[in-house]
Structure 1
Amino acid sequence: MDAAAPFLALGAGRGDVDLTESDGAPFALADDQEASPARRPSQSPAEAAILASGLDVAPREMPALIRRVERRMPADAETVRTALIETRRRAWIARLNDLANRAGRNWVRRAEAETAAGTIRELEPDDATLLAALDAAIASRLRGLGPTPEAALEAIAAELTETGSGSLSADRHAALAREVAGAFGLRDGAEIDFLDAAGAVESRRRREQREAADAARSKRREEVQRLRAWERSLVDSRALPKLLGATEREVLRWVGQGLIPIARRIPVRGKGQEKWEFDPKEVTALRPQVQAWRDTTGRPRDPAAPVVLRPGRAGNAAIARVAALDRYAGHFATARALNRRITLVTGPTNSGKSHTALDRLAASSSGMALAPLRLLAHEFREALASRGVAASLVTGEERMPVPGSRHLAATVEMCPFHNPVDVALIDEAQMLGDRDRGAAWTAAIMGAPAREVFVLGAPECATLVRRIARLCDDEMDEVTLQRKNPLVAARNPVGLGDLQTGDALVAFSRRDVLDLRAELVKRGRRVAVVYGALSPEVRRAEAARFRNGDADVLVATDAIGMGLNLPIRRVVFSTLRKFDGEARRDLNSQEVKQIGGRAGRYGQHEEGIVAVLAGGGSPDFIRAMLSAAPTVPEDPRPLVQPDADIIAAVAAEIGSDSLFGVLARIKRAVLRADDPNYRLADLTQAMAVASAIDGVPGLSLLDRWTYALCPVDERDNGVARLARWAVEHGAGRPVPPPMAGRLPAADRAAREELERAEKVHKRLVAWRWLALRFETAYPDREAALAETTRLDRWIEEVLRQQRRSKLVF
């Protein structure tokens, strides 16, 4: 039997083999040695086959090599050689990444290194061989990024900037352009022309972005200085008698009546008091009214009465009157002209809140259904269609008009405030308390121009909705529903191996969801996943897999707590704590009820069960949260935020074209912290966008305000991306949609590639949102939709893969 035999037959008359490891030397057979089971009775057939191959194997490689050969038994020398190449491939990938980093090629991804290493057939390739394979892999990727070298260069440069992989210096950009030229086979004059043109475009872009950033910083400094100068000009109450020619008693009475506006209130630490300051220019302008005030009977001014404003720049009080956020309900003139009646329908999940409201909406001659998510807007449209009513659809990034239809399904932010209808439905009203989107629900409930307004939500929303009804002077009815079947806490924690068909395992991060999925797939379970980064289309596809029985277990974030109707028998929390954007904390009762309430769909299960994974917390905590009374919000005042009309009015009042300046003044002046009725929504992200794009020429103030409203992820460099797009828009050049380039086969996709595809999808959502508002600047909507669809299908296919894969999960 020779060395190429399928495996080494032990006890077949061969000599002894010395397998002693010495000084890290590779395992090898000496020319005069023969193997014998007598010397190594524990020697496995795989180890024997390796020794028989005559290949030099380092001791550290031997364990992994044995495992690979074992899976291929019987193994000849060529099989062992292939297994050894696979064993060494990880070191080659690390070496390629190191070589790329040393060369400053930060556009090289691990996927290219893996592809390159996979083409190597030598056992000990040198760096030149490795780099040649890497160059070929990169060239293939570059050609897949676009149909032309210009498109490919634009795509990869944007990817580097957007993903935070590192900005490109001018030299690195030129080096990347040379690689792109090589990938597309450009030579001689064609290559020179391409490199010259690419360099010119990049130089212009850098110059324009630098100039826009400088202008934005300059504007911000001016606005800050203007605000500080105004604050320094303020006076306290002791100056008022002289400014108005009045007595101190008269001044105090007029301040109390609201006739003299307070410009700024400064809390006095430790005393529970405030120091009031006044704008001397604004106070002096009131002097002609003093005699009329003295002639009155002392009645305070009606705060709802219109105020005649003088021309010119104003202090905070005048700005507040212009913005009128302290009289926000009056901002919605169409709704206030209607005799509205609000019906608040509260209840836990699975209580049938939407059924009656949808029936009433479908029976009306006109109406709208407002949802928190694009996915739910689609479901409302389908629910109306099932009742024989065709409805148009409007969301942030899509329009689906139905000619002649007088019904609309939309996301809450897209509520049409000027088109009266008979019935409006506003879902998930507990979102009123959400710090990021709560103001949109305030506006929708206050401004929905309908005679009948159905507001649906968890019991926790009742306090805020009642406050809104009072502020709008609307009649209000309340309907309280109970869950149709019981929801109970499991007695004991659930082990991962004890999950059953129909269970939903809930985690609170994408990483945890994918880690749990990987572990379950390893155990032979068929798994569907739902988390926030997935598009509505992919979420629905994954939900359908679970619903149809193609998946045994659903692993999801709290994204399932809103909208998806699923046949979940039992909800199992992987943990009872979550990071809420500021801190890691225990789940509150509303979260446990909202998410856990997805268990036990009525008509499919007699009861819903809520449990916790072993090691994730105590079942007693779940039991306490399920039985807890609805919590009262810490601050019962609804959130409000400015709209385009308010932005324009404040800008005119302060005489500024700076969006940052307008937002800063609104934040400082429009709604005081102790306003009894409203609180100002968080303007942090809008101000960040304003700071980045205030210096872009070619964009109006309201154009910049539209950019500030665009849904972007700051963790994904969203603000910087908006600034780059705004520069192109302002210069009159079309903004191309983000592209993902060539995608690997779904069954070979790494988690990194899945995450990258999800991020590109989110960028496309922002691009399509802007395309609906700036059609000329964002013209290639068909390409954006096609890329969105392609990514949806690819992500769906990746998640459908159920076999265990080291690369994927």
Structure 2
Amino acid sequence: MEPAGTGLADAAPANAALVDVALADAAPSRAAAAGTAPPATEPPPRPARHRRPAALSTPAAEAAIAASGLEVATRELPMLTRLVERRLPADAATVREALCEVRRRTWSARLLDQANRAGETWVKRADAAFAAGTVTDPEPDEATLRAALDEAVAARLRAAGETPEAALRIVAAEIADAAGGALSAERHAALAGIVARAHGLAPEAAAAFRDAAERAESRRRQDQRTAEALTRARRREEVQRLRDWERSLVEFRAVPELLGCTSKEALRWIADGRIPVARRIPERGGRERWEFDPAELAPLRAEVARWREDEAPAGRPGKAPAPMVLRPGKAANAAVARVAALDRYAAHFATARALKRRITLVTGPTNSGKSHTALDRLAKAESGLALAPLRLLAHEFRDALGQRGVAASLSTGEERMPVEGSRHLAATVEMCPFQNPVDVALIDEAQMLYDRDRGAAWTAAIMGAPARDVFVLGAPESAATVRRIAALCGDPLEEVSLERKGPLVAARKPVPLGDLHAGDALVAFSRRDVLDFRAELVKRGRRVAVVYGALSPEVRRAEAARFRNGEADILVATDAIGMGLNLPIRRVVFSALRKFDGEGRRDLNAQEVKQIGGRAGRYGRYEEGVVAVLAGAGNPEFVARLLAAPPAEPEDSRPLVQPDADIVANVAAEIGSDSLFGVLARIKRAVLRRDDPNYRLADMEEAMAIATAVDGVPGLSLLDRWTYAMCPVDQRDHGVPRLARWAVEHGAGRPVDPPAGGRLPAPERASREELERAEKLHKRLVAWRWLSLRFPEAYPEREAAEAETARLDRWIEEVLRQQRRGRATA
């Protein structure tokens, strides 16, 4: 069933799609609701009719259809014949019902086409299919079909929410999420009227409800238009400011004249860092063209005489370079870089720098006991901090400390679980408390330093963890960057290398799908492939658990428990099992040796094969772990070669860094702008040279996209908008436009309601599309809850959001527990 008003499965099969909201007096048979068709571009023509079929496969079916007296189109005969044959002996009523079943696909397509033409975007394919399933007259008129559709839609809208207000909000939000934009005020009002009638409001009350909804939506749309206009104006202003600055730059040949020096002197002082290069433009052959800002050079002319005095007779520097003299408040590029200070990033963490820290880097493959050793040390400390890459792992760290007799609080992006009197904290990496000193800190999965989206959070955590003893755990590939970070912080570093506790071997032969056995994990690299393999294995009688990235930590943990306790024989998973789950896997089988990494398809690398394959052979359960390839997926020698490969040196071991709220505020003050887009654009251009010897600027594309969407929202400060830019969203699910709509409501002083899914179908009847919709809704709730912790007055219904999150978790887990054979949509 489609959760009320949410447009669950536009392309889903219609069987049972709306059973849970069926009217008691109009429930179709399962056969009657068995199919759907894509909407037709034109109404289908009426078929040619004749009284007597030319030939049928059996005399009994021929006789039954002929005796019914019904007109049947030639193209309808094959299916009608098959249906009648299955129901022999058949009377006229049986033939009539069979003919209705044949025609329901056409009726469904006709209804959906009419709704599309009328702009009724709230009508879903499943509505049309369900409506067609209630029609029992093989020759219905248009009014009969339309009445059936209206009743199906009304049933769904009644189930969408307990009140018309709740139902309207859920349906309108789902339409906006599906289309990437809200309904027009007129269409919103039309939907409000339909919702009011579905909920049985009297005509006067329904009209008042519709008018109020139209006024509210008009106000929202006006606020959104205002915000969008301001955003465009700010963007134009900032882009023009940057273009004007770029046009003002001069090439190197102008520098000697501007400073009153020779070209050789200018080159020396550039190398010393006394003369700032405003922009470096790559050219062919690895060369660069340097450009300089005259506004930055002008105050330096007075320093030339002193620089010459400082230099030794041989023409080399005799003293450390003097600090640049910059005009205050003029937004010179070097001034922006100075206030941002990303090239001195380690100094941002004053508490950590004030401590006498010691870093212990513990590297080793999966199943080498890295976490166990560090957790023992953490539990013995009077105070401590455990930082994990995932909310799931933060919970596991908290549980592990509890098993060692240490009560720990929890802090993740969307939840807080304080424990009174506790001096230990388990948290996700982004939630590192930089101002609260502790004795011991543990930072896990250090190879995430190279992640383009989150790597800067690991840099900040390792540099800024306010602990005297910092344990950094990770794959051997992380060592090069951790060493650089320790050197930049001036912290002594001890390295500990652990070996795997049991052998890990590569299978010599591919594994057929039918040869998967209890304890095996089949690894795929997309949600679709995971569910396809699950369906095929269930058909073969196997009990299957699944783990993939779209599932919440709670559902992943429940699925892992099913596999761990033997309720499921085989685990089908994406590379999400490579991090954060304790699983008793006997053999890891790769279903593919290539993956899409966000930019293109590529071969798996050695670190990925080791991280994922290393989950096989859990110590104490299996003597060895086996890594294999599914038959038809590739050459097992590829896996064997990568398992045996030495740790790869990173292409660039400089740690990734990104601005924080303080840096954003400082740069904004320096350039005299309240535009978040302008601040981030200047940070990208000015604060860190591409050839900086120590740091790399992290990817800021998502933050820029959000900044562009919310920059003109009235009522939000610069740092409010920066907080929105840090919110985790799924851009593939229209995450940025949704965030902008929430921000407009926030800025206007209206509370932002949490996403809600309405009524969910029975788990045993849920389609794959309905499951995906529930997963997306869960992610939207994660973003809402993240914002509710930072803006509690604007996002006040936190308890309702948590209850809806828990409801979705339970429902998704129940759907995944279904093990009925032959069902590919569960």
Q: TM-score, normalised by structure 2?
A: 0.89
Partner of 1:389: 406
Asked whether the equivalents of residues 504 and 617 of structure 2 are also in contact (C-alpha less than 8 Å), the reply is yes
Asked whether the equivalents of residues 410 and 416 of structure 2 are also in contact (C-alpha less than 8 Å), the reply is yes
Q: Deviations over 1:612-656 (max 9, x none)?
A: 222111111111111111111111111111101111111111111
Identity among equivalent pairs (%): 74
Partner of 1:767: 784
Is 1:147 the counterpart of 2:159? The answer is no
**Cα distance, 1:398 vs. partner?**
0.2
Is 1:160 the counterpart of 2:171? The answer is no
* Unaligned ranges ≥5, structure 2: 1-46
Partner amino acid, structure 1, of 2:578: G
Partner amino acid, structure 2, of 1:630: P
* Unaligned ranges ≥5, structure 1: 1-22, 31-38
Is 1:660 the counterpart of 2:677? The answer is yes
Q: Whole-Å Cα distance in 2 between the matches of residues 438 and 632 of structure 1?
A: 16
Q: Whole-Å Cα distance in 2 between the matches of residues 295 and 337 of structure 1?
A: 36
Q: Whole-Å Cα distance in 2 between the matches of residues 479 and 403 of structure 1?
A: 35
Partner of 1:437: 454
Partner amino acid, structure 2, of 1:714: Q
Q: Deviations over 1:708-749 (max 9, x none)?
A: 000001111111111111111111111111111111111221
Is 1:292 the counterpart of 2:310? The answer is no
Is 1:96 the counterpart of 2:106? The answer is no
Partner of 1:181: 196
Partner amino acid, structure 2, of 1:232: R
Q: Whole-Å Cα distance in 2 between the matches of residues 596 and 806 of structure 1?
A: 30
Q: How does 1:240-639 map to 2 (within 5 A)?
A: 240-270=255-285, 272-297=286-311, 299=317, 310-639=327-656
**Cα distance, 1:666 vs. partner?**
0.7
Partner amino acid, structure 1, of 2:473: L
Asked whether the equivalents of residues 257 and 301 of structure 1 are also in contact (C-alpha less than 8 Å), the reply is no
Among 696, 721, 726, which residue is 1:709 paired with?
726
Asked whether the equivalents of residues 545 and 572 of structure 2 are also in contact (C-alpha less than 8 Å), the reply is yes
Counterpart secondary structure, 1:515: helix
Partner of 1:6: none
Asked whether the equivalents of residues 106 and 166 of structure 1 are also in contact (C-alpha less than 8 Å), the reply is no
Among 807, 812, 821, which residue is 1:790 paired with?
807
**Cα distance, 1:413 vs. partner?**
0.6
Partner amino acid, structure 1, of 2:186: D
**Cα distance, 1:26 vs. partner?**
8.1
Q: Deviations over 1:499-526 (max 9, x none)?
A: 2122211111111111121222222222
Q: Whole-Å Cα distance in 2 between the matches of residues 608 and 551 of structure 1?
A: 19
Partner of 1:206: 221
Partner of 1:718: 735
Partner amino acid, structure 1, of 2:741: R
Partner of 2:40: none
Counterpart secondary structure, 2:790: coil
Q: Whole-Å Cα distance in 2 between the matches of residues 483 and 65 of structure 1?
A: 64
**Cα distance, 1:81 vs. partner?**
5.8
Q: Whole-Å Cα distance in 2 between the matches of residues 386 and 69 of structure 1?
A: 65
Q: Deviations over 1:730-782 (max 9, x none)?
A: 11111111111111111221222111111111000000000000111101101
**Cα distance, 1:545 vs. partner?**
1.5
TM-aligned CA distance change 1:59 to 1:457, over 3 Å:
farther
Counterpart secondary structure, 2:681: helix
TM-aligned CA distance change 1:586 to 1:76, over 3 Å:
farther
Partner of 1:34: none
Partner of 2:753: 736
Partner amino acid, structure 2, of 1:103: A
Q: Whole-Å Cα distance in 2 between the matches of residues 469 and 92 of structure 1?
A: 70
Partner of 2:131: 116
Counterpart secondary structure, 1:696: coil
Q: Deviations over 1:233-272 (max 9, x none)?
A: 12233433443344555444333321222222223333x3
**Cα distance, 1:288 vs. partner?**
3.8
Partner of 1:15: none
Is 1:239 the counterpart of 2:239? The answer is no
Asked whether the equivalents of residues 540 and 821 of structure 2 are also in contact (C-alpha less than 8 Å), the reply is no
TM-aligned CA distance change 1:586 to 1:129, over 3 Å:
same
Asked whether the equivalents of residues 264 and 316 of structure 1 are also in contact (C-alpha less than 8 Å), the reply is no
Q: Whole-Å Cα distance in 1 between the matches of residues 487 and 53 of structure 2?
A: 91
Partner amino acid, structure 1, of 2:272: Q
Stretch of structure 1 that moved more, 195-204 or 366-375: 195-204
Partner of 1:132: 147
Asked whether the equivalents of residues 266 and 275 of structure 1 are also in contact (C-alpha less than 8 Å), the reply is yes
**Cα distance, 1:43 vs. partner?**
5.1
Asked whether the equivalents of residues 573 and 613 of structure 1 are also in contact (C-alpha less than 8 Å), the reply is yes
Partner of 1:191: 206
Partner amino acid, structure 2, of 1:179: I
Partner amino acid, structure 1, of 2:307: W
Partner amino acid, structure 2, of 1:600: G
Q: Whole-Å Cα distance in 2 between the matches of residues 791 and 58 of structure 1?
A: 46
Q: How does 1:62-101 map to 2 (within 5 A)?
A: 85-101=100-116
Stretch of structure 1 that moved more, 648-657 or 116-125: 116-125
Partner amino acid, structure 1, of 2:292: F
**Cα distance, 1:82 vs. partner?**
5.3
User: Relative contact order (C-alpha < 8 Å, sep 6+): which is higher?
Assistant: 2
**Cα distance, 1:44 vs. partner?**
10
Counterpart secondary structure, 2:545: strand
**Cα distance, 1:792 vs. partner?**
0.8
**Cα distance, 1:539 vs. partner?**
0.9
Counterpart secondary structure, 1:265: strand
Partner amino acid, structure 1, of 2:705: A
Q: Whole-Å Cα distance in 2 between the matches of residues 73 and 345 of structure 1?
A: 74
Q: Whole-Å Cα distance in 1 between the matches of residues 158 and 360 of structure 2?
A: 58
**Cα distance, 1:678 vs. partner?**
1.0
Q: Whole-Å Cα distance in 2 between the matches of residues 71 and 505 of structure 1?
A: 40
Q: TM-score, normalised by structure 1?
A: 0.90
Q: Whole-Å Cα distance in 2 between the matches of residues 334 and 601 of structure 1?
A: 40
Q: Whole-Å Cα distance in 1 between the matches of residues 614 and 94 of structure 2?
A: 55
Q: Deviations over 1:294-330 (max 9, x none)?
A: 3324547758x98776421222111111111111111
**Cα distance, 1:152 vs. partner?**
2.1
Q: Deviations over 1:185-242 (max 9, x none)?
A: 2333222222221111111111111111111111111111111111221223343344
**Cα distance, 1:433 vs. partner?**
0.7
Counterpart secondary structure, 1:90: helix
Among 232, 254, 279, which residue is 1:217 paired with?
232
Q: Whole-Å Cα distance in 2 between the matches of residues 145 and 398 of structure 1?
A: 27
Is 1:683 the counterpart of 2:700? The answer is yes
TM-aligned CA distance change 1:302 to 1:645, over 3 Å:
farther
Q: Whole-Å Cα distance in 2 between the matches of residues 494 and 58 of structure 1?
A: 50
- CA-based RMSD of the aligned residues comes to 2.7
Q: Whole-Å Cα distance in 2 between the matches of residues 680 and 219 of structure 1?
A: 24
Q: Whole-Å Cα distance in 2 between the matches of residues 744 and 75 of structure 1?
A: 34
**Cα distance, 1:71 vs. partner?**
7.5
